[in-house]
Amino acid sequence: MNGVVVHKTNNSNVYNNTVYKNGEVPSDDDADWGSYGVDWKDALTVSRQKYTGIVVHSSTGVKVYNNISCAKNSSDKSFVLYTESGWPTSTADWGNNLPCNGTSVSSSNISSENWLTQADPLFNDPTNNSLGNRDYTLNVGSPAIDAGNNLYATANDINYITRPQGSSTDLGAYEHQNTWTGSTDTDWSNTDNWSTNFIPISDRSPVIPDVTNQPVISSNDGSSGIVTLKDITIKSGAELTLNKDASLTISGKLTNNGSLTLNSDSNEFSSLIVHGTSSGNITYNRYVNSLSGGTGWDLIGSPVNGLQISSFATTNDSPLATGNGSGAGDVGEYAIGTYDPSNNTWTNYTTSNVSTTQFTPGKGYQMATDSGATMAFTGTIDTDATETIAIESFTDASGRRWNLISNPYPSFITIGPNSTSNTFLEVNDDVIDASYVGVYGYDADNSNGSNYTIHNNTSSSKIAPGQGFFVAARSTTAANITFKEEMQTTSTGDDFISGDNMENTEVVLRIYNGGNAVGNTKLYFGNDLTLALDPGWDAGSYSQSASIMTRLVEEDEGYGMAINAMGLDAMENVVVPLVINQSTGQEFRINLHTSTIPDPNLYLEDIEEGTFTNLYESDFVYTPISDLSGVGRFFLHMTADTMSNGAVSTSMLNAYKEIDANYITIEGLATQPNETKVRLYNILGSEVLSTTLQNNMGIQKISTIGMATGIYIVELESGTDRLTKKLIIH
């Protein structure tokens, strides 16, 4: 008969309850008393007790706060303080409670409180004929909204909605979810557009209904465009839009029965992160480069799940380019294709072969539009803890190590150093080739001599939503690249189709043929780095025949490096082997493009010409009389001293061992006037090999088959030219 009763229980707390017209047993105040048509009710001659609300019965020290109580009849009591004979007088603190219209209270110490103004709480549907469909949530304008005392509120409501959702906690069991009204405009941060006149923040769970003005999140919302919520509900017919400069992070649940759209352009991409669960589709309008934008095409992956390629092509029929990019190609050929590293080929989808194929999460595709435009990717959000995609190196056959993958999320992901170890490189460095631990992004811009920009620990770049990129597989058997939910990060920046981004302590060299840049290479300096391979910091060149590269100073394995990372002390004292690949008669120019290092000089040494060029003062210009390739002739000197022609003669000899090779490679032999003696010593100093190589070939190999695994010292000697170097034999 009663609603909530504190029965002979001292020091109890009664917070945030909703009591609505309890009392199934008849009352003599009922209009149909004695004539219900129900035998047991009509047989009653004694009315029930008329305390159908919240009752404190023979109890002391009770706190009753933030409740809504609706008694059944006008003579029933919403709030009662009662003492049974022989018991200590009941005492209670009452605060911020709401009795419904037409009900009363009992006891003077209740009725004298000014917060007990009777009012209609404006429940959404408390009298539905179907008991299970009755709705006691608060409607917009309810006097119970923001009327509570936060000191005596439950942390969450009955549906685990965090309190408060507005400026203060609500009364009753249900916290009113701040509801978009759009009464003024579409601005997310306009308080007039919200039912509580309060902009939702990180622990709030707003509701977006179908109204005239639908909300748009922009760069001036949240924290510089980053809006964070607990949950969000988008009702049927409603729309929520994220502008290209906005980001939304949801720690709990996304319930989408309407429309959620993310926008982008050529240099800004909106971001959505859902840490909990998600229902319904989203649409990401993802910018895709044109066939003729820069050097054309783009590398893209789907930022949503469950999207058929044929459906995507139909939806985006107008901006999606067709053919193979040169106006040719099969009939019905889409500018959507896959890369096969086993034979280094690209294959586009056509109307005849696409069938019901879906975009594979984490897989990269080549893609292009007619003139640079956004294309709509519609599907579900990937909320799994991890997503994997297999990669494999085919360098043991006739293929390549490069695999095209993509960011599977509608958010950015972190590439390198961060406060968490869950970065893309940290998680995957054991499946990426150690000499190429990085993200190789196609930038469609060869103004620096390359269409690829390498992003690793030497930069702060992030991978944009749906961005495709290459990674180098370490193993000739398939292994999984893993994308983790923790990699996701809030950002609204650029993708890889962009310009230079100079940062940190580094030097960038470019090589030119005439006025055209044909290559570039970077020296990077940082704490705790070495002259040997630092995976994730050093990065091999995407093409090992690139026009300009460097080699590792120590433990060189023969890879040309696009990024050569070293310790800070190397800025003042290091000699770096420089690789230049140029044809006979082709004049080339090497330019110090950018530098953020202090004071030290940077000299380019040409051993054959006996010259030193300070690249801070002038470019190095040369026209070769024979093809230039490999290492041994050119070196970079980082030094605080001044150098002049003939001051130093760096050895043109070099030796290295590739990690999986069963031989040592000796370079620079053809530059020597005399034969070259080769000696190999083990770590104990014992000579294990001695041989002499003739200078009729530039490169020769010495077998290591049968040698024990360990550290060795190789010594090369040709006339006055001498080189001593450490090697590791596996």
Q: Would you state the pLDDT for residue 548?
A: 97
Q: Can you list the positions of beta strands (E) in 326-476?
A: 333-340, 345-350, 365-367, 373-379, 386-391, 402-406, 412-414, 439-442, 452-455, 462-463, 468-472
Q: Would you state the pLDDT for residue 373?
A: 95
Q: Would you state the pLDDT for residue 274?
A: 97
Q: Are 453 and 464 in contact (CB under 8 A)?
A: no
241-295 residue pLDDT tens: 999 999 999 999 999 999 999 999 999 999 999 999 999 999 999 999 998 877 7
Q: State the Cα–Cα distance between residues 645 and 624, nearest whole angstrom.
A: 19
Please provide the CATH number assigned to the domain covering 654-729.
2.60.40.3080
How far are the Cα atoms of 206, 219, 521, 587, 629 from residue 625, in angstroms, in the given order? 73, 57, 24, 10, 13
Q: Would you state the pLDDT for residue 500?
A: 43
Of the candidates 488, 469, 495, 363, the residue with the CA atom closest to the CA atom of residue 423: 488
* Identity of residue 516: N
Q: State the Cα–Cα distance between residues 23 and 456, nearest whole angstrom.
A: 69
Neighbour tally for 264: CB within 10 Å: 25
Neighbour tally for 124: CB within 10 Å: 15
Q: Would you state the pLDDT for residue 76?
A: 79
Q: Would you state the pLDDT for residue 493?
A: 62
**C-alpha torsion angle, residues 461, 462, 467, 469 (rounded to 10):** 60
Q: Would you state the pLDDT for residue 325?
A: 56
Q: Would you state the pLDDT for residue 498?
A: 52
Coil, strand or helix at 191: helix
Q: State the Cα–Cα distance between residues 116 and 118, nearest whole angstrom.
A: 6
| Number of residues assigned to the chain | 730
Burial group, residue 617, by CB count within 10 angstroms (0-12, 13-18, 19+): exposed
Neighbour tally for 58: CB within 10 Å: 18
Q: Would you state the pLDDT for residue 499?
A: 44
- Look up residue 495 and give its two tokens: 């993708």
Of the candidates 368, 376, 350, the residue with the CA atom closest to the CA atom of residue 292: 368
Strand partners, 603: 614, 637
Burial group, residue 122, by CB count within 10 angstroms (0-12, 13-18, 19+): middle
Q: Would you state the pLDDT for residue 324?
A: 67
Of the candidates 356, 351, 345, 308, the residue with the CA atom closest to the CA atom of residue 330: 351
Of the candidates 598, 695, 684, the residue with the CA atom closest to the CA atom of residue 652: 695
Q: State the Cα–Cα distance between residues 114 and 269, nearest whole angstrom.
A: 53
With a cut of 70, which residues of the chain have pLDDT below it? 1, 24, 26, 28, 30-31, 41-43, 45-49, 102-104, 107-116, 324-331, 418-419, 492-504, 642-652
Q: Is 363 left (phi over 0), alpha (psi -120 to 50) or beta?
A: beta
Q: Are 475 and 428 in contact (CB under 8 A)?
A: no
Q: Would you state the pLDDT for residue 501?
A: 47
Residues 6+ apart with CB under 8 A from 37: none
pTM: 0.82
| Residue-wise DSSP of 440-471 | EEE-S--TTS-SEEEESTTS--EEPTTBEEEE
Q: State the Cα–Cα distance between residues 154 and 345, nearest whole angstrom.
A: 62
557-599 residue pLDDT tens: 899 999 999 999 999 889 999 999 999 999 999 999 988 887 7
Q: Are 271 and 225 in contact (CB under 8 A)?
A: no
Q: Is 474 left (phi over 0), alpha (psi -120 to 50) or beta?
A: alpha
Coil, strand or helix at 152: helix
Q: State the Cα–Cα distance between residues 684 and 170, nearest whole angstrom.
A: 79
